[in-house]
Amino acid sequence: MSTTEKERMPLVAALEVLRSLRDQQIVLTTMGAAREWPKLSQHALDLHYIPSAMGGAPPLGLGLALAKPKCEVIVINGDGAMLMNLGSLVTIVASGAMNLTVVVLDNGVYEVTGGQKTAAAAAHAPVDLAAMAAAAGIPSVRRYQDLETWRREAPQVVAMPGPRFIVLSVDPVAEYQLKSPGPMAQRLDAFRAALAGI
């Protein structure tokens, strides 16, 4: 469903659930997640995809998953970014990669440009990203609107057969500031070094 008329969970609390389950997975963040995740996690296998090409995180994560088939890859995406690249859901399935999880933080707006509604949020009929993922052939798909259910079920969800697609309905953040986590070249060097060890 679109996020316009439903319960939502606090963004940071939703991410904290994921962080509490994080082990040695590669975590690729973009958009709002790239702003909040670094406050929760400082891990060598974190890659904050900033600056990004909007919509590019799922295929970037797919490339990492194909390159590192023994390692789980988690992509934390925004709903607006996901809408820009829905075909990537089909690409993920067609690739055969099973070690990939795409988490969509669905707040119905483009936070980065000031909170304008996405087309999905403005649509007259509900838009269901989870149903789209299931229709694309992703075997493990879940959608959560309340924090307690997400917290309770998350351990089982991240262990389901991959690829996985999880939609978390979250509150938009009013004051959006996305600061660069530092020079990309240095961050990529560190990330590559961490990848070389797995």
Partner 1 sequence: MEYPGEQVAAMLVELGVTHVVWLPDSAIGQWEQAFENASQFSLVRVCREGEAWATAAGLHLGGMRPMVVIQNTGLFESGDAMRNVVFDLGLPLQAIVGYRSALVPNSSDSARHFTEPILKAWGLDYVTIRSPEELPRVVEHFRKCRTAAKPGVALVAEGSM
Is 56 one of the binding residues for partner 1 (CB under 8 A)?
yes
Contact assessment for residue 133 and residue 69, using Cβ atoms and an 8 Å cutoff: no
- Within 60-99, the residues that bind partner 1 by CB under 8 A are 60-68, 85, 87-88, 90-91, 94-95
Rounded to a whole number of angstroms, the minimum distance from the CB of residue 20 to partner 1 is: 26
Is 188 one of the binding residues for partner 1 (CB under 8 A)?
yes
CA distance 116 to 58: 23
Nearer to partner 1, 56 or 126 (CB): 56
Q: Which of 12, 178, 190, 195 binds partner 1 (CB under 8 A)?
A: 195
Rounded to a whole number of angstroms, the minimum distance from the CB of residue 39 to partner 1 is: 23
Rounded to a whole number of angstroms, the minimum distance from the CB of residue 143 to partner 1 is: 23
Phi-psi region of 38 (alpha: psi -120 to 50; beta: other; left: phi over 0): alpha
For the residues of 106-148, what is the DSSP string, one character each?
A: E-SEEGGGTSEEPHHHH-SS---HHHHHHHTT-SEEEEE-SHH
Is 112 one of the binding residues for partner 1 (CB under 8 A)?
no
Nearer to partner 1, 146 or 189 (CB): 189
Phi-psi region of 83 (alpha: psi -120 to 50; beta: other; left: phi over 0): alpha
Total binding residues toward partner 1, as defined by CB under 8 A: 32
26: phi then psi, degrees, rounded to nearest 5: -75, 130
Nearer to partner 1, 30 or 107 (CB): 30
Contact assessment for residue 51 and residue 181, using Cβ atoms and an 8 Å cutoff: no
User: Interface residues with partner 1 (CB under 8 A)?
Assistant: 47, 51-53, 55-68, 85, 87-88, 90-91, 94-95, 184-185, 188, 191-192, 195-196
